[in-house]
Structure 1
Amino acid sequence: MANFPDTLNFTGFNSPSRIEADIVDLVHEGVIPPELNGAFFRVQPDPQFPPRLDDDISFNGDGMITRFHIHDGQCDFRQRWAKTDKWKIENEAGKAMFGAYRNPLTDDEEVKGEIRGTANTNAWIHGGKLYALKEDSPALVMDPATMETDGYTWFNDKMTGQTFTAHPKIDPATGNMIAFGYAASGLCTDDCTFYEVTPEGELIREIWFKAPYYCMMHDFAITEDYALFHIVPSIGSWDRLEKGLPHFGFDTTMPVYLGVLPRREGATADDIRWFKRDNCFASHVLNAYQEGTKIHFDTPEAKNNMFPFFPDVHGEPFNGMEAMSYLTRWTVDMASNGDEFDSITRLTDTAGEFPRIDDRVAGLKHRHGWMLEMDMKRPVELKGGSAGGLLMNCLFHKDLETGAEQHWWCGPVSSLQEPCFIPRSKSAPEGDGWIVMICNRLEEQRSDLLLFDAQQVDKGPIATIKLPIRMRFGLHGNWANAEDIGLAA
């Protein structure tokens, strides 16, 4: 019997959904641009069964992929499980067999050595394939048209690392997917891998390198010539796992690094440079680019840990105010002789996370950025559906060229999920297009899909697509044009 725990992680808006469904022509208000023809894919952690232990964090739920197919002024809905090895084993057993988040010591003996990945962090499109991604395991391949699962890939059996990031990038010059893996030789190791994969799914480069210390390396960035890895002390160890502690904990006494790996042909681990700075928290990356010998790396930075479920290793209580993050530019100079940062500059006084750009300018100088804003000055009547419990209640647009900022508030009984940019056309200027995102209607226990003009978000959505069901808090998603994924209108 599926009795889920009566805890914050499994009740209210966070209650498991476990719905596979198809809905044609969702009800909507406003106008869906008739020229839009493609699909927005996103993923939510959604536990198939009650946890093996007393409670669990949302980051350990099974991956459920949602596709919103927008065409001819309408939107169709399809949702399917990402059927990982874990999902299949537990589905056959009829119960949870794997234990705590990234702690194999808590698993049933029958599943020792199996891939524990949940494919619950990003729904990514490359070369006409849908990749369901979780950074502790290989990439899971799904068919974007049928949404059936093919299985894990090692890219023509050339990938030797055990893990693949949930945040790949597409090189706009080559169309290749640039990626990496951490804990690449096994859990809690400092081994990392750098990958380059063609649209055909062939791995053409793999470089092994060492991180300064083992930590959660959730995201990274590219520029035209480099791959950039930020090392922030959300640290883990086998000692923590043996003690039954959460896999990660934040250490405010450790330094932060930015690794710069040349992407040129023939580069090796010996070519990486590590720049060092004082402690902070940073997870996601907006973008990075080069300017002469300088590299600019834009990331939401917080003074302290943003994840209360990965607590301070020294026992300090979670500090909500210090967990507020602000878009910040880290600059390093490759012409320097030392390991110091050139500068650290806050780009806005608006607190926010889940940053997104027009992905066509990945690694190039960017003008536009969108984020989920955390505006504590707005009235709040209901909370829920947001990462780490932080209220994400506004869509925020920053024009980095003019400095102009726009804000759209979703109201006192709603919260928002990550925005995604859709170009108006493949040749449209940067930032010319739409933003698509999910809004959690907390009072009604259901969700809406919102469409905005990307450079006029303060005017509110141009279309509100109404879902009769509730989308659990999701992590990341992406848009694909219909012709690129074999999806007919």
Structure 2
Amino acid sequence: MVHFPDTVSFTGFNTPSRIEADIYDLDVEGEVPKEMHGAFYRVQPDPQFPPLLGDDIAFNGDGMITQFRFEDGKISFRQRWAKTDKWKLENKAEKALFGAYRNPLFDDPSVKGQIRGTANTNAWIYGGKLYALKEDSPALVMDPVTLETVGYTKFDGMTGQTFTAHPKIDPNTGNMAAFGYASKGILTLDMTYYEIGPDGKLLYEVWFENPYYAMMHDFAITDDYALFHVVPSTSNWERLEKGMPHFGFDTTMPVYFGVLPRRKGATKDDVRWFKTDNCFASHVMNAYQEGDRIHFDTPQAKNNMFPFFPDVHGAPFNPMEASSYLTRWTVNMASNSEAFESQTKLTDMFGEFPRIDDRFTGKKYRHGWMLVVDMERPCELKGGSAGGFLMNTLGKVDHETGEEQKWWCGPVSTLQEPCFVPRSKDAPEGDGWIVMVCNRLEEHRSDLLVFDALDIAKGPIATAKIPVRLRFGLHGNWANAGDIGMAA
């Protein structure tokens, strides 16, 4: 008999749903632009079985991929498991076999040495394929139309064990830039940078080492460089042997910023490391070069944002110091110093999950969107957001004019990550739409919202009502119909 624990990760809006479904032509309020022809993909951690050890963090749930298909003003819904090796082994056993998040020491002996990935962090489209990604394992390939699982890939040559959940596509070359950390196995310092062609084959890889082991969740590229921020969400074997959460935040350690030239033949000796004081930063909005200077835009907080990865020295979680603000890190490649040139706060909006018009990846850009925590707004129910934060507002920043926009979703709802959809492949920057999931907490169901990307303040132009509850999701992306074999 299945029974999930009565804990925060498994109750309320985050009760496991475990639903595979197809719904044709969702009920829509407003008007869906007919130019939107393609699909929006997103993923949620959704455990197939109760945790082996009695409880676990929500980030360890099995990946469930959602596809919203847009065609002729209609939106249809499809949802399927990302059937990883872990999912298949546990499905056959009809119970959990793998232990806590990123800790193989307490797994069932029958699965020792198996890939532990859950494919639950990003639904990524590249080269006509759908990739379900989790940074502690290889990329899982799925069919972008049917959502059937194909299996793990090493891109015909990748030698590292892991692949990031946040690849980037270079708008100049069309190549996919990516990396892996703990590339030689759990807790190792090894990093691998990859460039992959549109045919899905590895072009080259570069191996190097981090200054210390850390959660390397995101990164950035520019025309010439790959950029890595090393923030001390760290771990060691002692933590794992004691059954502690894999990561803990160390406020005594500095932050490093690595700059790797993007070229075949680069080596570990080509990485240049800059250094700054302790802070927390996870996701990246964008980065670009300006002469010898590199600008790197990231939501930065004074202290750890993840209460489920506690302070290694025992300090209690500090929600005020966990407030993150979009900040521009600038380093000067012409300097002889390891110090940052500047760290400049770009907005007073407390926000995370930043997104851009991805056609401007690595370029100087104007428009950015993110989830905002507006603590001045009333809140009647909590939950349904990553990390427990009250992500109740969609925010937009114009880096050229400084103009900001916000749209609040109401007192009994929260929002999931936005995604930009260009009006056409050659439309001006920001000309298009934002799509995102809204959690209707009281009704225990979800909506898909569509906004005019440059005028979010007026609210959604279309709302698709989803008659099921989508658990908190992490990341998602859009694909045009013709790029994924979905053209009419």
What TM-score range do you get, normalising by the shorter chain?
over 0.9
Secondary structure of 1:297's aligned partner:
strand
Secondary structure of 1:315's aligned partner:
coil
Q: How does 1:225-304 map to 2 (within 5 A)?
A: 225-304=224-303
Give the whole-Å Cα distance in 2 for the aligned partners of 1:207 and 1:263. 9
Tell me which residue corresponds to 2:76.
76
Q: How does 1:455-470 map to 2 (within 5 A)?
A: 455-470=454-469
Report the CA distance between 1:267 and its aligned residue. Answer: 1.7
Whether contact under 8 Å (2:352, 2:371) holds in the other structure is: yes
Tell me which residue corresponds to 1:148.
148
Write the deviation string for residues 109-166 of structure 1: whole angstroms up to 9, x where unpaired: 000000000000000000000000000000000010111000000111x111000000
Give the whole-Å Cα distance in 1 for the aligned partners of 2:252 and 2:319. 19
Q: Counterpart of 1:370 in structure 2: which amino acid? A: W
Give the whole-Å Cα distance in 2 for the aligned partners of 1:402 and 1:99. 50
Report the CA distance between 1:338 and its aligned residue. Answer: 1.4
Report the CA distance between 1:381 and its aligned residue. Answer: 0.1
Report the CA distance between 1:266 and its aligned residue. Answer: 2.5
Q: Counterpart of 2:105 in structure 1: which amino acid? A: L
Report the CA distance between 1:264 and its aligned residue. Answer: 2.6
**Please, what TM-score do these two structures have when normalized by structure 1?**
0.99
Matched, 1:355 2:359: no
**Please, what TM-score do these two structures have when normalized by structure 2?**
1.00
Give the whole-Å Cα distance in 2 for the aligned partners of 1:139 and 1:265. 22
Secondary structure of 2:473's aligned partner:
coil
Q: Counterpart of 1:320 in structure 2: which amino acid? A: P
Matched, 1:220 2:219: yes
Give the whole-Å Cα distance in 1 for the aligned partners of 2:66 and 2:486. 15
Matched, 1:8 2:4: no
Give the whole-Å Cα distance in 1 for the aligned partners of 2:462 and 2:267. 49
Tell me which residue corresponds to 2:329.
330
Whether contact under 8 Å (2:258, 2:272) holds in the other structure is: yes
Give the whole-Å Cα distance in 1 for the aligned partners of 2:264 and 2:27. 51
Q: Counterpart of 1:85 in structure 2: which amino acid? A: D
Secondary structure of 1:385's aligned partner:
coil
Secondary structure of 2:326's aligned partner:
strand
Give the whole-Å Cα distance in 2 for the aligned partners of 1:369 and 1:24. 32
Percent identity over the alignment? Answer: 76
Q: How does 1:56-455 map to 2 (within 5 A)?
A: 56-156=56-156, 158-455=157-454
Q: Counterpart of 1:101 in structure 2: which amino acid? A: Y
Write the deviation string for residues 88-121 of structure 1: whole angstroms up to 9, x where unpaired: 0000000000000000001000000000000000
Give the whole-Å Cα distance in 1 for the aligned partners of 2:340 and 2:487. 49
User: Structure 1: any 5+ residue segments left out of the alignment?
Assistant: none
Whether contact under 8 Å (2:191, 2:207) holds in the other structure is: yes
Aligned length: 488
Write the deviation string for residues 299-318 of structure 1: whole angstroms up to 9, x where unpaired: 00000000000000000000
Tell me which residue corresponds to 1:471.
470
Report the CA distance between 1:488 and its aligned residue. Answer: 3.5
Report the CA distance between 1:50 and its aligned residue. Answer: 0.5
Q: Counterpart of 1:63 in structure 2: which amino acid? A: G
- Please report the RMSD computed on the Cα atoms of aligned residues, expressed in angstroms: 0.5
Secondary structure of 1:206's aligned partner:
strand
Report the CA distance between 1:373 and its aligned residue. Answer: 0.2
Write the deviation string for residues 334-386 of structure 1: whole angstroms up to 9, x where unpaired: 00011010101000111000000000000000100000000111000001111
Q: Counterpart of 1:368 in structure 2: which amino acid? A: H
Give the whole-Å Cα distance in 2 for the aligned partners of 1:430 and 1:34. 20
Secondary structure of 2:59's aligned partner:
helix
Give the whole-Å Cα distance in 1 for the aligned partners of 2:129 and 2:95. 30
Give the whole-Å Cα distance in 1 for the aligned partners of 2:392 and 2:47. 25
Secondary structure of 2:117's aligned partner:
coil
Write the deviation string for residues 61-111 of structure 1: whole angstroms up to 9, x where unpaired: 000000000110000100000000000000000000000000000100000
Moved over 3 A (4+): none
Write the deviation string for residues 427-470 of structure 1: whole angstroms up to 9, x where unpaired: 00111100000000001000000000001000000000000000
Report the CA distance between 1:269 and its aligned residue. Answer: 1.3
Report the CA distance between 1:265 and its aligned residue. Answer: 3.4
Write the deviation string for residues 223-262 of structure 1: whole angstroms up to 9, x where unpaired: 0000000000000111110011100000000000100000
Q: Counterpart of 2:32 in structure 1: which amino acid? A: I
Q: Counterpart of 1:68 in structure 2: which amino acid? A: F
User: Structure 2: any 5+ residue segments left out of the alignment?
Assistant: none
